[in-house]
């Protein structure tokens, strides 16, 4: 399929911004325009709580992802690579989607914590999905956004909650 450079939303957005600049009414920040801070097609998934946009790490706000090398124990005592499965679930959910992330906070070392959406802002929220499916834990120490979703995933035994 061929893509033409002057069709679609980007061209319309550029025209609108040009008109606003001409009239002296341009918004002063991307947040005022409703745009995401970080965007890209299918970023690299480091683990279920960390994405990499071409060397720019973005931590998913409001959750704690399972490290890729993490192991969990099933209720029967058998070990399983839950961190790899969580990373696979995140990769599979993202697939080839365009991902846009809106920065919500900065860590003490300047780390970016963001809400990320599939297909752009307004699309399905990746952060919520990971917690709802049990592939990440709610970061209750700094955000309560996903506490109820984690409780439901735990009660249903989804994702990481299949064991201990």
Domains of the chain and any CATH numbers: 1-35 (no CATH), 36-162 (2.40.50.90)
pLDDT per residue as tens digits for the range 3-52:
333 334 433 333 333 333 333 333 333 343 334 579 988 899 999 999 99
What is this structure's pTM?
0.76
Length of the chain: 164
> What pLDDT sits at residue 72?
92
- Spatial separation of the C-alpha atoms in residues 74 and 161, rounded to whole Å: 9
C-beta of residue 97 within 8 angstroms of C-beta of residue 42? yes
Question: Structure tokens of 164?
Answer: 């201990």
CB atoms within 10 A of CB 16: 12
CB atoms within 10 A of CB 26: 14
> What pLDDT sits at residue 36?
54
What average pLDDT is seen over the chain? Answer: 81
C-beta of residue 59 within 8 angstroms of C-beta of residue 38? no
């Amino acid at each position: 399929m061929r893509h033409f450079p002057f069709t679609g939303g980007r061209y319309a957005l550029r025209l609108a911004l040009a008109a606003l600049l001409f009239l002296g009414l341009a918004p002063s920040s991307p947040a005022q325009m409703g745009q995401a801070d970080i965007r890209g097609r299918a970023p690299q998934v480091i683990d279920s709580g960390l994405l990499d946009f071409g060397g720019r790490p973005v931590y998913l706000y409001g959750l704690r992802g399972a490290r890729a090398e993490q192991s969990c124990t099933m209720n029967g005592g058998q070990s399983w690579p839950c961190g790899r499965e969580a990373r696979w679930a995140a990769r599979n959910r993202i697939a080839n989607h365009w991902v846009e992330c809106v920065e919500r906070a900065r860590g003490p070392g300047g780390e970016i914590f963001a809400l990320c959406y599939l297909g752009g802002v307004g699309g399905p929220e990746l952060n919520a999905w990971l917690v709802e499916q049990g592939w990440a834990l709610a970061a209750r120490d700094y955000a309560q956004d996903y506490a109820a979703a984690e409780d439901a995933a735990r009660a249903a035994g989804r994702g990481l909650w299949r064991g201990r």
